[in-house]
């Protein structure tokens, strides 16, 4: 049936055309995601060892007093923790989305492909052997480690006539991750002086980080996020295959280079600030894809909202499940992310397997 006739029939029956329904669904989903993000941010400011009422939270934010207990808790501790969760979640969600689009592998994420492990090993080495303790110092080690790990995984997977296929990328990433994880453990065991600091950082946590950590990683994180958000059209082309992308006039080499730079900046910034946190970059792009379809321009926008909401929600859960202490967000994210990942794999149409 001609498109015009189909549209006319849809109008007579009161049913909106398919593209209008998709656009409406995407808009509604984005509004819901933003509302959820705002809710978990408010909960992050309220919930902890001591619950603070919303009115008191608002008063502490608008009328800060260094002698007021609520102000010290909200502004001095929970606000930087929440903002860091926003930044790290956004970085990990965008990095995972770009990585899946770049590799055409629905199982790709910074953790599975070894990028986070590379950044982690570099930071651990910086702490243990070079005495670097400030984020401004070891963030550069994180960038170098992330880039080196990504290069090794791609080089290993590209060996052979077929090149870097999605399956070979996943296998190479798993092997490199295992090797880097062993090296991290070896370094931690040989450096007793820095063991506690490295162990706390390695588990992945938003606690104990102040505004200083956020300001130190924010410039590179913003650059990486802006770059990633502009890659939607290029990733759509790469998803069709290199030959098709070239036929559409895209410069495949440039697209891959820009994607790699965005991944390194985002993973390096997030890992240096909060430690290696798994599953965020793996699960979130699939959730976004389920809502908006295969258009990476929309997937990137959704991931930038859903990922920080998921990370902050896990951080809030970690504060209340083990009183009077708390579980670090990296541990809670593993417990939450693993079942989600299993559910996603079982929905073959969702992950493209």
* Residues 6 or more apart in contact with residue 202 via CB below 8 angstroms: 120, 124, 184, 188, 275, 276
What's the pLDDT score for residue 157?
81
Q: Is 183 helix (H, G, I), strand (E, B) or coil?
A: helix
CA–CA separation, 70 vs 168, rounded Å?
A: 52
What's the pLDDT score for residue 268?
86
- CB distance 194 to 128 below 8 Å: yes
Give me the CATH number covering residue 45.
1.10.3470.10
What does the DSSP 8-state code read for residue 162?
A: S
Angle at CA 72, nearest 5°, toward 69 and 76?
Answer: 165
Is 50 exceeded by the pLDDT of residue 353? no
Tell me the average pLDDT across 137-163.
83
What's the pLDDT score for residue 14?
52
What is the per-residue pLDDT across 195-225, written as a single tens digit (0 to 9) for each? Answer: 666 666 677 888 878 888 898 889 999 999 9
The closest alpha carbon to 271, from 192, 209, 332, 315, belongs to 209
CA–CA separation, 125 vs 291, rounded Å?
A: 41
Tally the domains of the chain.
Answer: 1
CA–CA separation, 122 vs 152, rounded Å?
A: 14
Residues in the chain: 353
Instruction: Note down the domain range covering 246.
Output: 3-351
């Amino acid at each position: 049936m001609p498109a015009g006739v189909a549209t006319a029939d849809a109008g007579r029956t009161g049913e909106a055309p398919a593209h209008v329904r998709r656009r409406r669904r995407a808009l509604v989903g984005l509004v819901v995601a933003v509302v959820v993000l705002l809710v978990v941010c408010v909960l992050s400011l309220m919930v902890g060892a001591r619950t603070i009422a919303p009115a008191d939270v608002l008063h502490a934010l608008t009328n800060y007093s260094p002698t007021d207990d609520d102000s010290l808790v909200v502004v001095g501790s929970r606000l930087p923790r929440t903002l860091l969760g926003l930044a790290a979640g956004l970085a990990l969600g965008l990095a995972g989305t770009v990585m899946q689009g770049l590799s055409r592998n629905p199982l790709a994420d910074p953790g599975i492909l070894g990028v986070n492990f590379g950044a982690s090993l570099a930071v651990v080495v910086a702490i243990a052997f070079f005495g670097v303790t400030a984020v401004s110092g070891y963030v550069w080690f994180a960038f170098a480690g992330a880039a080196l790990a990504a290069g090794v995984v791609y080089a290993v997977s590209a060996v052979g006539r077929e090149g870097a296929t999605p399956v070979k990328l996943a296998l190479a990433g798993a092997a490199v991750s295992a090797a880097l994880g062993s090296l991290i453990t070896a370094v931690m065991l040989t450096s007793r002086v820095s063991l506690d600091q490295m162990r706390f950082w390695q588990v992945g946590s938003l606690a104990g980080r102040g505004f200083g950590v956020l300001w130190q990683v924010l410039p590179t994180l913003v650059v990486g996020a802006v770059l990633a958000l502009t890659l939607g059209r290029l990733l759509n082309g790469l998803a069709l295959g290199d030959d098709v992308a070239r036929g559409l006039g895209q410069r495949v080499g440039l697209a891959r280079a820009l994607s790699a730079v965005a991944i390194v900046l985002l993973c390096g910034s997030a890992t240096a600030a909060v430690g290696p946190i798994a599953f965020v970059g793996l699960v979130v792009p699939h959730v976004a894809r389920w809502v908006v379809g295969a258009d990476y321009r929309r997937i990137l926008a959704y991931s930038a909202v859903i990922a920080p909401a998921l990370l902050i929600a896990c951080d809030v859960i970690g504060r209340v499940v083990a009183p009077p202490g708390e579980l670090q967000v990296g541990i809670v994210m593993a417990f939450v992310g693993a079942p989600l990942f299993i559910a996603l794999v079982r929905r073959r149409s969702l992950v493209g397997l």
